[in-house]
Amino acid sequence: MATQIKELSFRKYLEGSATEKNEFTKELFSGLKECGFVILKDHDVSEELLDEAYEKSRQFFSLSTKIKESYLCPEGGGQRGYTPFGTEHAKDADVHDLKEFWHVGQLLEPGHPKYEGYAKNLWPKEVPYFQQTFSALFKTLENVGQTMLQALTPALDLPQRYFTDLTNDSNSILRLLHYPPIPEGTDPRCVRAAAHEDINLITILVAASTSGLELLDRQGQWVPVETARHNLIVDAGDMLSRITNEVIPSTTHRVVNPNDGENSSRYSMPFFMHPHPDAMLTCIESCRGDGAKYPDITSQEFLNQRLREIGLM
């Protein structure tokens, strides 16, 4: 039987009755546990902001390679700004993914205790209102992410503020992705995004401009992830899997190459919800069972380990 991805109404959690909120939390938990992905409709991210963000993303990626590469992250590691085509690869993969991307990170003011600990955001002057658009989208998706994690706390027998405290001033990343048309002569082993799991707690993905995203369900079958324009797609990452002792497993997914005759650009905007760098990834008590499968580690140590594995450090 084909896996069905649960579609949840965010408004029911934000504005609904106690019964509706409780039903949302149960459906969110079971959706992430049994499938790994849920679709979020009726959310509070404005359609105008999403449309503007995709337009600004297209404008940036249409710039010349020379201009784009002038925005490489000075600190290295692709933490901010531009990462060129063919840089990132899936863990243990022999070939690179067919994508380029831009990273927007946490928006802190000088003088904030964590300000010096984060790489500084870069803003391309060639694209008007780029900074305003993606600053607004970052903060909006961060709020959605914190609310989604808060909704998980009853199922995990956690205090309501558990994830809020874990993700305050977080190391989250908004990634603007461009998958160009597949170049002629490309290694046939290369795909737009090879099978992988996300590093973070949860990912909030703005529905992409075209199809191609697939998840690997619990039965080992690849399932297309498709939804209406402006909906959000949420999936569980490695950090959430680690602290829940794999009660909520990290979900393998990929972006496949387009079919013949459909070789056009694809744009996508995932928001990777991370803890703050000093947060300790430790097994949640209600998930411990016969014992924790993983030792405690800070989120920064775990992130660095995974970035090395995918070629970004």
Beta bridge partners of 268: 177
pLDDT of residue 101: 95
Per-residue model confidence (pLDDT) at position 140: 97
Amino acid at 174: L
CA distance 99 to 182: 10
Which pTM was predicted?
0.94
Cα-to-chain-centroid distance, residue 8:
18
**Chunked in runs of 10, what are the mean pLDDT values of the chain (313 residues)?**
86 95 96 95 94 96 97 82 85 82 94 89 97 98 96 96 94 95 84 90 87 90 90 96 97 87 87 95 96 95 87 66
Residue 86: its pLDDT value, please? 80
The confidence score (pLDDT) of residue 310 equals: 77
What pLDDT, on the 0 to 100 scale, is given for residue 229? Answer: 85
Classify domain 6-309 at the CATH topology level: Jelly Rolls (2.60.120)
Rounded CA gap, 104 and 121, in Å? 6
- pLDDT for 254 equals 94
pLDDT of residue 1: 58
Residue 179 near residue 192 (C-beta atoms within 8 A): yes
Please state the domain extents for the chain: 6-309
CB 135 within 8 A of CB 237: no
Q: Residue 274 has which token pair? A: 């991370």
Cβ burial, residue 256 (10 Å; 0-12/13-18/19+)? middle
Q: What is the DSSP string of 7-54?
A: EEEHHHHHHS-HHHHHHHHHHHHHHHHHTSEEEEES-SS-HHHHHHHH
pLDDT at 78: 76
Supply 76's token pair: 């290295």
Residue type, 236: A
Instruction: Tell me phi and psi for residue 182, to 5 degrees.
Output: -65, 120
The pLDDT of residue 214 is 93
Q: What is the pLDDT of residue 313?
A: 56
Cα–Cα nearest to 211, from 254, 175, 182, 176: 254
Distance CA 240, CA 197 (A): 11
